[in-house]
Amino acid sequence: MPPTSRRGLLFGTAAVSAGALLTACTSNEPKNSAPATDNVPAAADKPGTPVTIGFAGPQADHGWLNAINENAKARAAKYAEVTLEITEGSNDTAAQIGQIQTLINKKVDVLVILPADGKALTQVGLQAMKAGIPVINLDRVFASPQAYRCWIGGDNYGMGLNAGRYIGEQLKDKPNAKVVELAGMDNLELTKQRTQGFDDALKNYPNIRKVARQAAEFTVESGQAKMAQLLQAQQQFDALWNHDDDQGVGALRAIQQAGRDDFLMVGGAGAKSAMDAIKAGNSVLKATVLYPPTMAASAIDLARALGQKKGVSGMSELEIPASITLYSAVVTKENVDDYLPTGFS
Amino acid sequence: MTQPAPVTTAEPPVGEAAGRPPLGLRADVRNLSLLGVLAVLIAVGGITRPDQFLDTSNLQLVLTQASVIGVVTVGMTFVITSGGIDLSVGAIVALASVWATTVATQEYGFAGILFTAVVVGLGCGLVNGLLIAYGGMVPFIATLAMLASARGLALQITDGKTQIVTVQSVLDLGVPDAYILGIPPLVLVFAAVTVIGWLLLNRTTFGRRTVAVGGNAEAARLAGIDVRRQRLYLYLLSGLCCGIAAFLLIVLAGSGQNTNGNLYELDAIAAAIIGGTLLSGGRGTIVGSVLGVLVFTTITNIFALNNLQSDVQQIAKGAIIVAAVLVQRRTARGAAEA
Amino acid sequence: MATPEPPLLTMSGITKSFPGVRALDGVDLEVRAGEVHCLLGQNGAGKSTLIKVLAGAHQPDDGTITWRGEQVTLTSPVAAMRLGIATIYQELDLVAGLSVAENVFLGHEPTTAGFVVRRTSARTATAALLRRLGHPEIDPARAVGELPAAQRQIVSMARALSHDVRLIVMDEPSAALDPDETANLFRIVTDLTADGVAVVHISHRLEEIRRIGDRVTVLKDGRAVAGGLPAKDTPTRDIVAMMTGRNVEYVFPERPSVPAAPTRPPVLRVEGLTRQGEFAPVDLKLRPGEIVGLAGLVGSGRSEILETIYGARRPTAGRVLVDGRPLRPGSVRAAVRAGLGLAPEERKAQGLLLLESVTRNVSVSSLSRFSRGGWLDRTAERAAARTATRELSLRPDNPDARIRTLSGGNQQKAVLARWLLRGCRVLLLDEPTRGVDVGARAELYAVIRRLADDGLAVLLVSSEVPEVLGLADRVLVLREGHVVHTAPARELDEHRVLDLVMEGSPTP
C-alpha cells in the first residue's frame, strides 16, 4: 500500500470524526443550496482581524479543479476581512514553486496550497513554514508533516471503499456477480488508492468478482474510448465503478452507443451532471461517491481561523486539528437532493 | 509563352506507359510490411479473445475509435510529406470541439456545430500557414505557438467544464441506429477522407507539388512551383482535417472538452512515420498512415480485451514504433540497393 | 625548403566515388615537413573531397596514404587527429555557445580523475596558444559566438595547435579575412613552418600562393593535373590554364554555318541589371538559336547574374525583358511563365528531387499541362516525359528509374528535359558540366547545341574557358562583377580570355 494511503487510514479513524464535526459545523454539504453561499463559516462569523490568504493550485483544466477554485473564491468573498491572493494555476512543478515563493515574499498571513505534485512541492511548504507562514495543505499531501500546519483533503481509499461497499450491498444476493472498473489516470497515486479501496471492499463479498479494469485519463474522450473497449470485452457484467464523473460523461456515451443497460454504474467525485442523471433515474448511473471540492471552502475557513488564532467551533480543542480527512459519501437517488448544490460542472 | 515543347511530335510509347512504376511498388512493399504487423495483431487478438475480437461489433468499435485520429493523421501526412510538421493538431481539435459546443453555437443545431468546427479548424490552419509560408517561421515553432494558444483559448472558453451536447441530431449520429449497412457514419467519414486524401496526394498536381516541396524546396522553387502558397494550402488542409476530426469527436463523446485531442500530434506523427512517410519530407503514403493508425488502435483494443493495463499498452506502443521503423529501414535499404 | 628525408605525407592513387559522379580519380599528393603546399582547383575539382579523405571524414575507394614512411588508414577524424593531422574547414566547426578555451580543448579537455574539467589549466593553455598565434587579446573565457570571423579563425588554429600537430590543412582560410588579418595569418603560417609543421593551403587566390606557398598541386575534374610545381616561379597563366583548361581534348559541336540571324528580335533582353555588392550593371541581348557564354573566375558574379535574371535573386536596379515585356523582378514563377528555364549550378541541392523518378523530375515544371482541374493524367505525363528524355538520349531509357541512380550527365539531361517539356525558350545553364564525368561531356555539348539549333536561346556560365569558347557563339568576360569584354567566340582564344579574367588580379 502506498505511504500516503496508509497515512490516510491511520488518521482516518481519528480525523473522520473531527471532519464530521467540522462538516456539520461548516454545514456545506447537506443543507446549502450553492457552494459556499449561505452556509455558516467554521470559526465565529463576525469579522475579526484582517487576514491575507495566499492560494496556489494547479491549472483548472478539469471540472473538479475548477470547482476547487470557485469554492475558495466564493468562501473568501464572504468575509470582509479576508483578502485572497490567488495565483495563476499551473501544472508545472517549477512554475508552482515560483508562484508560492512569490506569495511567501509578499508575506501573506496564511497559505493554502493544492500542489500539482505533493511530493515535489514539499520543500516550498517547508520554506513557508520556516518563514512563519502557516500552510494549509489541500488534498494532495506533502511528503513531510513539517511542511504544513493542517492538511485537509479527500479520502481516495475511502472513495474506493465506499463505492465497493455500495456495489457489494446491491449485489450481495446475486451469485457469481461480475464487476468492472473504469479507473482514472494510472500514473497518479490517487488512482491506485481508489482501486485498492475498491478491491478491499469487494473482499467482503465472496460472490462478487472484478473481471476487468481499464484506466482512462479523467477526460470525456478517454472515458468514451476505454468504456467502449470494456463493453466489447465484457459482454455481460452486473456493476461498473467509474472513478471520475468527468470521464463518466464519455463512459455513459459509450454505454448508450453500445445500447447496454443491464448493469448498475457508480461514479466518482460528484459532478452535477452525474447527480442530475442519478436524480432522473433513467440511466445506468445509480450512485456517485463524493470527493467534495467544498474542501477548498473549508480550507479558506481554516486559513482564516489560523490567521485570527482561533480554533474550530464545535470542537473542544483550542487549536485547529493537524489533519482533516473528508468523508466520501455515497450519493443515491434517495439523498441526491441534499448534495445537488455541491455538484460541480 | 504557351508555345508547345518542340518534342511532342514523337510517338508516345504506348505499351510501356501502362507498366507499373517501381516507385509505387516500393511504397507497396512498405505497406505490406505494415499489413504483416496488422495480420500478426489480428492473429493475436483472434487467438486470445476469439469471441470478442473477431466480432462485427468489435470491427465497428476499432474503426470508430480510429476515425478521429485517422482524419487528423491524413492531414498530418500531407504536412510531413512537404517537409513540415504540425504540432498543433491536438490543440486545434480541442479548440474546434469546444467552440462548436458552446451554448451559443448549439442554438444553431447540427449545421452550427459542424460549420463552427470546420471554420475554427480552417482558421487555425490559416494562421499556421501564414506564419510559416509568409512569416518565415519554422513550422515547429509556429505550430508549437498555435498549440499553446489554442489550448489556452479552449480552456478559456470552457472554464475547465465539460460542455454536454444537447442537439439530438448530432448525438444520434453516434449510436447504432445511425449505422449505414452496418457501418458507423464516423467510419464512413474517415473512409471518405482517406480516399480523397489518397487521390489528392497521388493523382493531382497538388499532391505532386507537395512531394516536390518536401523533397527539395529549393529545387521546387527554381522549377517554378509557388512553394509558399503550397505551404499555406498544406497547413489549411491540416486545419480542415482537425475541424472534421473535432466534429467526429463531438459525435463520439457527446460533448466538448478542452482536454480533447490530448497528444494527438504525437499519435498522428507516429502513425505517419510507421506508415512510411519520411519525417524529413519528400515521401508520403496515405495508405501507410491509415495502416499505422489501425495498428495503434488494434493494439489498444487487443490489450483492453485482454484486460492488460495502460502501462503495458504504452510499452508495447513504443516497441511497435521502433520495430516498424527498423523493418522499414531494412526494406528501404533493400529497395535502394535493388 | 625541401629536405632530403622522406615526405611527411604521400597520398597516391586516391579514388572516391559518390552516386552518379567520380569525385576523385586517382589523385596523388606529396607534402614535405615544413612546407606550405598549395592545393588549387575550381569548384568541384575535388579539393574538398581530398581534404576530407585526409581528415578521415571520407574513406577512399582506392589508393594509399603514407604518413612518415608508414602506410596508414584514416578510419575517422579522431584517427587523423591522433597522427597529428588537423583540418580547419571553411565553415568553421566551432561551437558558438562555448567559450574559446572550451572550444580549443573540445574532446580532449584536461581533466582531474578523468572527468572533472580543469578549467583554469585549459584557460592558461589556451592563453599560451593564443599568444603564440599573436592574438593575446582574445579572452579564453569569452563565448566564441561573440567573436568576429577573423578571431574565430585564430581559435580554430589554436584548436589545431592544441594537439601535437604536424600537418595543418586550411580550407580557404583567407576567404573571410581583411588584408591585415590575412597578413597576420600568413605570419603565423610562416612561424609554424619554421617549426617543421607542414601546411596544406587551399585557395583561389593566386597572389596568396605566390606569397606563402612553396609548392603547388593543381586539381581538375578529380585528377591532379600537376603536382609539386614551384609556387614562386610557375607562370600565372600556366597555373590558370591548368585550372580552367582541358586535360582531354573535346569535340565541340559545329556552330551553324550561318550565325543566328541578327535580324531576328532578341527573345531575352537584360537592361542595366544590378545587384549591389555582387555585380555592376549588365546589358545583354539573346536571340533565338544563339548560345552566349559568361566567362569568369569564382567570385566574378557569373552565377549571381544568371540567378538574378531568373528571378531567384531580386535585383537592386535594372530589368529583364522577354519578348519586350518586362518580368516581375524577384519572381521565379514570372520567369518560368515567360519561358525561362534554369539548370542550376548545385544540381543536387537546387535542381533535383532526389527521391523521385526521372519522370517526376522532368514533369515537375509542366504539371498543369497534364492536368484538368488539378487532376493528373499520369499516362500522358509519363509519355511526354519519356519523349523529352529520349530526345536527349537520356540513359537508362527508363522513365521510372530513380534520378539518384543516374550519372551526373544524365541527371543534367533530366533537368534539360524538364525545360524542353515545359516549352521553355531561354535556357540558363550554370556550370552544366559540373559533376559530369569527363567522358560524358561531349554528348552534353552536342545536346545543348542541338537545342539552340531548334530555336532555343542559351545563356551559359562556365568556369572552364575552353568550354565557353567551344560552345558559345558570343562571350561576355566577367571580372569582379563587371563585364570587361564582349566578343564573338571565334575572335577569342584561351590566352586572351585568361588575360582578361585575371588582369589586375583580384585584390585580397
- DSSP string across B109-125: HHHHHHHHHHHHHHHHH
The answer to whether A156 and A193 are in contact (CB under 8 A) is yes
Give residue C376's pLDDT: 93
Quote the CA–CA distance of B160 and B158 in Å, as a whole number.
5
Residues 6+ positions from B107 with CB-CB distance below 8 Å: none
Return the amino acid letter for B81: T
List of long-range contacts for C92-95, beta carbons under 8 Å, 24+ apart = C92/C152, C92/C153, C92/C156, C93/C156, C94/C144, C94/C152, C94/C155, C94/C156, C94/C159, C95/C144
Beta strands per DSSP E along chain A: 51-56, 82-86, 110-113, 135-138, 150-153, 177-183, 208-215, 239-242, 264-269, 285-290, 323-325, 330-332
Top-confidence residue, A216 or C183: A216
The chains found to touch C (3+ Cβ pairs under 8 angstroms) are B
Could you tell me which of B172, B247, B114 has the C-alpha nearest to residue A257? B172
Residue B50, preceding peptide bond in cis (omega within 30° of 0): no
For the stretch A50-71, pLDDT in tens is 999 999 988 887 788 888 999 9
What distance lies between CA C260 and its chain's CA centroid? 32
Could you tell me which of A85, A72, A78, A16 has the C-alpha nearest to residue A41? A78
DSSP string, C464-492: -HHHHHHH-SEEEEEETTEEEEEEEGGG-
Say whether B262 and A221 touch across the interface (CB within 8 A): yes
Residue A49, phi then psi, degrees to nearest 5: -70, 150
Residue A274, phi then psi, degrees to nearest 5: -65, -45
DSSP string, C98-159: SBHHHHHTTTS--EETTTEE-HHHHHHHHHHHHHHTT-TTS-TTSBGGGS-HHHHHHHHHHH
Rg (CA), chain C: 25
The answer to whether B130 and B105 are in contact (CB under 8 A) is no
The answer to whether A55 and A84 are in contact (CB under 8 A) is yes
Give residue C175's pLDDT: 66
Using CA coordinates, name the residue in chain B closest to A219: B259
Quote the CA–CA distance of C372 and B200 in Å, as a whole number.
13
Please tell me if residue A245 touches chain B, with a CB cutoff of 8 Å.
no
- Identify from C400, C418, C427, C430 which residue to disrupt to test chain B contact, counting B C-beta atoms within 10 A and taking the largest count: C400
Q: Is the pLDDT of residue A109 over 50?
A: yes
Cell 603536382 -> residue: C227
Distances (CA, A) of A286 to A145, B130, C363: 38, 51, 67
Could you tell me which of A55, A21, A19, A38 has the C-alpha nearest to residue A314? A21
The answer to whether B184 and B198 are in contact (CB under 8 A) is no
| Residue A344 DSSP code | B
Q: Is the pLDDT of residue A281 over 60?
A: yes
Minimum-distance CB partner of B249 among A186, A213, A221: A221
Reading the block at residue A162, the C-alpha cell is: 465506499
For the stretch C391-446, pLDDT in tens is 998 988 999 999 988 888 899 999 999 999 999 999 999 999 887 877 788 889 99
- Identify from B163, B247, B252, B314 which residue to disrupt to test chain A contact, counting A C-beta atoms within 10 A and taking the largest count: B252
Q: Which of A1-10, A46-55, A291-300, C366-375 has the lowest mean pLDDT?
A: A1-10
Reading the block at residue B304, the C-alpha cell is: 483492453
Quote the CA–CA distance of C452 and C289 in Å, as a whole number.
4
Using CA coordinates, name the residue in chain C closest to B282: C355
Give residue C342's pLDDT: 96
- Identify from B163, B257, B262, B296 which residue to disrupt to test chain A contact, counting A C-beta atoms within 10 A and taking the largest count: B257
Which residues in chain B touch residue C332, judged by CB atoms under 8 angstroms apart? 221-222, 224
Minimum-distance CB partner of B304 among A63, A214, A345: A214
Say whether B223 and C376 touch across the interface (CB within 8 A): no
Separation in Å, CA of B121 to nearest CA in chain A: 19
Reading the block at residue C465, the C-alpha cell is: 574557358
The answer to whether A318 and A311 are in contact (CB under 8 A) is yes
Reading the block at residue A231, the C-alpha cell is: 463493453
Reading the block at residue A228, the C-alpha cell is: 467502449
Which residues in chain B touch residue C394, judged by CB atoms under 8 angstroms apart? none
Quote the CA–CA distance of C297 and C475 in Å, as a whole number.
14
Residues 6+ positions from C193 with CB-CB distance below 8 Å: C1, C34, C35, C36, C199
CB atoms within 10 A of CB C230: 10
Reading the block at residue A146, the C-alpha cell is: 513539517
Minimum-distance CB partner of B257 among A215, A221, A229: A221
Question: pLDDT under 50 in chain B at which residues?
Answer: 1-25, 335-338
Give residue C114's pLDDT: 66
For the stretch C175-206, pLDDT in tens is 667 777 788 888 888 888 998 899 999 876 77
What's the longest Cα–Cα distance across chain C? 84
Separation in Å, CA of B148 to nearest CA in chain A: 14
Say whether A257 and B160 touch across the interface (CB within 8 A): no
Question: pLDDT under 50 in chain C at which residues?
Answer: 1-3, 504-508
Please tell me if residue B179 touches chain C, with a CB cutoff of 8 Å.
no
Please tell me if residue B283 touches chain C, with a CB cutoff of 8 Å.
yes
Return the amino acid letter for C142: R
Q: Where are the alpha helices (DSSP H) in C213-331?
A: 236-244, 302-309
Q: Which of A75-79, A177-181, B333-337, C459-463 has the lowest mean pLDDT?
A: B333-337
Cell 466564493 -> residue: A74
Quote the CA–CA distance of C431 and C346 in Å, as a whole number.
9
Please tell me if residue B22 touches chain C, with a CB cutoff of 8 Å.
yes
Say whether A215 and B174 touch across the interface (CB within 8 A): no
Say whether C402 and B10 touch across the interface (CB within 8 A): no
Top-confidence residue, C264 or A97: A97
Confidence of residue A264 (pLDDT cuts 50, 70, 90): very high
